[in-house]
Amino acid sequence: MEWRASHILVKEKALAERLLKEVKKGKKFQAIARDFSTCPSKSKGGDLGWFGPGKMAKPFEEAVKKLKHGSISGIVKTQFGYHIIKKTGER
């Protein structure tokens, strides 16, 4: 099994909470990722491409597995910071 996801990564939980509210209000996920994410994937709107088991931090991978295609996670904490994840594929 492989998954595809985009994410927004920030260092502060309060900022992640604010951005999640914006996404849920309908603001474009890719635009928020480009403007706020600290990950190099921000240049691609947060797209991480395809990845398999063991390629991402465990809490991130577990969150992606539970998401339905096109849905957005709550805030997921890893050693890198706070993520908002959008699942964009599964194969």
Q: E-assigned strands of 11-80?
A: 47-51, 72-78
Q: Looking at residue 17, what is its pLDDT?
A: 98
Domains in the chain with CATH codes? 3-90 (3.10.50.40)
Q: Looking at residue 33, what is its pLDDT?
A: 98
Average pLDDT on 21-27 reads 96
Q: Looking at residue 87, what is its pLDDT?
A: 98
pLDDT tier at 84 (50, 70, 90 boundaries)? very high
CA end-to-end span of the chain: 6
Give the containing element (helix H, strand E) for 6. strand 3-10
pLDDT tier at 60 (50, 70, 90 boundaries)? very high
Bridge partners, 76 (sequence order)? 83
pTM: 0.96
- Cβ-in-10-Å burial (0-12, 13-18, 19+) of 90 comes to middle
Average pLDDT on 27-47 reads 98
